[in-house]
Structure 1
Amino acid sequence: MTYYDKGAEPEGPGRYVAFDHITFWVGNAKQAASWYCIRAGFQLLAYQGLETGEKEVVSHAVRQDKAIFVFKSPLNPGNDVMGVHQSVHGDGVKDVAFSVEDCRGLFKKAVERGARVVREPWEEKDENGTVVFASISTYGDTTHTLVERTNYNGIFLPGYKEPRASDNLQKMLDAQFPVGLNFIDHVVGNQGDEEMNDIAEYYEKTLQFHRFWSIDDDLVHTKYSSLRSIVVANWDESIKMPLNEPAPGTRKSQIQEYIDFYGTPGVQHIAINTGNIINAIRSMRARGMQFVNVPDSYYEDLRAKLAKSKVTVKEDLDVLQELKILVDFDDNGYLLQIFTKPVQDRPTLFLETIERHNHCGFGAGNFKSLFEAIERDMFDRGTSVETPQKK
């Protein structure tokens, strides 16, 4: 496990500020948005569709504090681009948008350094101001949109309107089971075998991100499978993009299972930060969210390790065990994390909830336990098969 020196600050223009929003292409945007509101505690933020004058693509934006998800679906037959994407990938993340200070300048520099253009800079405006956008591609069919909203004060983006009032069920759940997620902590992309380094170098070269953290299969493996991971980040380290690839094992890894079902590299999971993970998970469980199961033996081992550690976990370990929340720690601090089961029928995208206490890692100490839990689910799905070994 390695942390990196981020080196010299890149020269302008402007900065990559933070995650702006994440766009999903789904079969039914209205139902997907409702699911995230009911199960994960998001609230309707903004809408664009037939009632707002948009005739081709419907968009439902939901928000929880600073975390914004946008669900899009085609409105008409014959939308070949979205139709093919849905056929290949199923529901999934199409775009991870970054808030930036100088969209045109950063786009120009990225392209000069080799970024693959999806769309040249463009403007959208309404009565609330103007937003500048530009898009580049990253791994698989995933894109990054740069969003400069300095001169905009609307609810979300131009063309979006206030949503219709939330229903009584959502109001009741929000009152009784508030979740309290705060912001996108990181977004993980799964890569094919031996493709991770190339895409990490793409981020370093084109966006001038730096390597923040990495781990190899010597540290992350089970009896059957393993992974390698590199995390790239912007200069301020407010945007972190972990990149995973499968490593050789006797059975198919969860990374390869993702690639097989998604069809290409893509976003595997989205981690959302919270200041109170116990409350968040209690509420999400009450709302019907399903999480990966962890055996009680994990907590027996955890208690033994913490007894020898300099770090004190302030949360009640009995409660963490009851809720199946994982703990990772070093000499300086600790983090708490938990992972949902896949949030659609294909075993691809899932969510992570994370709470940090002076710990900027990604739960390397829990990777084995997480892998073993997912391997149990893969066995239930019938996808935990033996893999041919390279000679």
Structure 2
Amino acid sequence: YAELVGRGATPVTPPTTFTGADAEVVTAEVAGFGDVLHRLVQRRGDRRDFLPGAFESAEPAGGADGLLAEIDHLAICVPPGQLDATVAHYERVFGFAQIFTEHIEVAGQAMNSTVVQSPSGRVTLVLLEPDRSHRPGQIDAFLTEHAGAGVQHLGLRTDDIVTAVGALRERGVRFAGTPGAYYDDLERRVGPVDAPLDRLRELSILVDRDHGGQLLQIFTESMHVRRTLFLELIERRGALTFGSGNIKALYEAKERELAAAGATPAVVAGTAQGVGA
């Protein structure tokens, strides 16, 4: 906390200690981006005791079934013109490093993306900024509904996405659907996939590839009243990036599907906007 404040972080809450019979937790908070705060956590003793003396820990209703392994990344939307300054802040104050950057264009929409990661590799932030030289898209909609910068989604890594999605569907989790046409040329686009294609189609699981390998991913529907926060499940099979190739693939699949149904180009563009950037 002292080091971050010394590097220029805005202090919010000084170190506070929570003590229990088998654990001690110390927390402190500094400002992040927009109105989001970062909490530092130092733990001693039983890690199952979340905040001793403040919250009573309980076992998860579903038990420790191993469906989810860890938090893979946070995706954060910032207003246009603020991406570079936000990246510089995490580099200077938190010691993060840039590991990936790209400009994504699809269907007349565009956004800039830079990924920063902590020195340990355990904290990864995907920072997204709309390109206002193109027509408004999903990032613009988030910034409007959220009233500024914020977390768009939380990526949760799993070691077996097919099993995880099947189990979570049975528990009532609603996932975003995928056009059937997306799977028609999937293996041509990403190569052979070590999973039954019919099962991926049934569950609407997406597949992408980068220089390191493949990744499988799917997004939940938003449960937030303003539709500004959702979750992602991601299984990494060597891939180090975040599935940006799926944005274009989803748009093109929706375009083929609607064209086959006789939709006009205007309808195609309007309907596919929701699956693009």
Q: Specify the TM-score bucket, using the shorter chain as the normaliser.
A: 0.7 to 0.9
For 1:238 and 1:207, the matched residues in 2 are separated by 13
Give me the TM-score of the superposition, normalised by structure 2.
Answer: 0.84
Q: 1:143 aligns with which of 37, 56, 63?
A: 37
For 2:150 and 2:81, the matched residues in 1 are separated by 15
User: Are 1:333 and 2:201 an aligned pair?
Assistant: no
Deviations 1:38-90 (A, max 9, x none): xxxxxxxxxxxxxxxxxxxxxxxxxxxxxxxxxxxxxxxxxxxxxxxxxxxxx
User: Are 1:209 and 2:96 an aligned pair?
Assistant: yes
Structure 1 300/279 Cα, relative in aligned 2: closer, same or farther at 3 Å? same
SS in 1 for 2:184: helix
Q: 2:56 aligns with which of 161, 168, 185?
A: 161
Q: Which runs of 5+ in 2 are unaligned?
A: 255-266
AA aligned to 1:161 is: E
Q: Counterpart of 1:280?
A: 164
AA aligned to 1:263 is: A
For 1:179 and 1:126, the matched residues in 2 are separated by 27
Structure 1 253/234 Cα, relative in aligned 2: closer, same or farther at 3 Å? same
Mapping for residues 1-391 of structure 1, pairs under 5 Å: 107-151=1-45, 153=47, 155-159=49-53, 160-163=55-58, 180-216=67-103, 220-248=104-132, 251-306=135-190, 309=191, 312-369=192-249
Q: 1:269 deviation in Å?
A: 0.2
For 1:222 and 1:236, the matched residues in 2 are separated by 34
Maintained 8 Å contact 1:254/1:371: no
CA RMSD of aligned residues (A): 2.8
AA aligned to 1:211 is: Q
Structure 1 368/345 Cα, relative in aligned 2: closer, same or farther at 3 Å? farther
Q: 1:286 deviation in Å?
A: 2.3
Deviations 1:283-327 (A, max 9, x none): 222223222222122212222224xx4xx4211122112211111
For 1:254 and 1:153, the matched residues in 2 are separated by 38
For 1:268 and 1:240, the matched residues in 2 are separated by 14
Percentage of identical aligned residues: 34
Structure 1 365/154 Cα, relative in aligned 2: closer, same or farther at 3 Å? closer
Deviations 1:183-206 (A, max 9, x none): 111011110011111111110000
Maintained 8 Å contact 1:122/1:134: yes
For 2:193 and 2:155, the matched residues in 1 are separated by 21
Maintained 8 Å contact 2:29/2:38: yes
Q: 1:258 deviation in Å?
A: 0.7
Q: 1:368 deviation in Å?
A: 2.6
Q: 1:153 deviation in Å?
A: 4.9
Q: Counterpart of 1:102?
A: none
For 2:171 and 2:148, the matched residues in 1 are separated by 32
Structure 1 285/213 Cα, relative in aligned 2: closer, same or farther at 3 Å? same
AA aligned to 1:224 is: G
Structure 1 338/261 Cα, relative in aligned 2: closer, same or farther at 3 Å? same
Structure 1 292/224 Cα, relative in aligned 2: closer, same or farther at 3 Å? farther
AA aligned to 2:186 is: L
For 2:122 and 2:106, the matched residues in 1 are separated by 31
SS in 2 for 1:149: strand
AA aligned to 1:335 is: L
Structure 1 340/361 Cα, relative in aligned 2: closer, same or farther at 3 Å? same
For 1:373 and 1:119, the matched residues in 2 are separated by 48
Q: 1:161 deviation in Å?
A: 1.7
Q: Which runs of 5+ in 1 are unaligned?
A: 1-106, 385-391
For 2:134 and 2:115, the matched residues in 1 are separated by 26
Structure 1 154/285 Cα, relative in aligned 2: closer, same or farther at 3 Å? closer
Maintained 8 Å contact 2:182/2:250: no
Q: What is the count of residue pairs matched by the alignment?
A: 259
Q: 1:373 deviation in Å?
A: 9.4
Structure 1 370/263 Cα, relative in aligned 2: closer, same or farther at 3 Å? farther
Q: 1:208 deviation in Å?
A: 0.6
AA aligned to 2:2 is: K
Q: 1:371 deviation in Å?
A: 6.8
